[in-house]
Amino acid sequence: MTAERVAATDRTAQAVTQERRRALLVCLTAKFGALPVAAHERVRSADAATCDAWLDLVTPAGSLAEVLSEA
């Protein structure tokens, strides 16, 4: 794989992760209202797979803590 292709793949993965984080923050805010700084920090440091897992929990969760709990 060329250096250009590796860089493009990395940029794509970063873009996907950023979009998942954005979607999660939108969903969490819609359900639970204004989020504490700690929740923002946690989401901003999460990888795409973690965001996907948390997104699956938003609808059935009764609290923000249920979504962002340690697995």
Q: What is the pLDDT of residues 22-54, one digit of tens each?
A: 999 999 999 999 999 999 999 999 999 999 999
Alpha-carbon span 67 to 13, nearest angstrom: 23
* Domain segments of the chain as ranges: 3-68
Cα-based distances in Å from 52 to 8, 32, 41: 22, 18, 16
Quote the CA–CA distance of 67 and 57 in Å, as a whole number.
6
Retrieve residue 25's tokens.
Answer: 């923050």
Q: And the tokens for 6?
A: 């590796």
The more confidently predicted of residues 36 and 14 is 36
Q: Using only C-alpha atoms, what is the Rg of the chain? A: 14
Is residue 8 predicted with pLDDT exceeding 90? no
Residue 47 is predicted with a pLDDT of 95
Distance CA 48, CA 5 (A): 21
% of residues, the chain, pLDDT over 90: 75
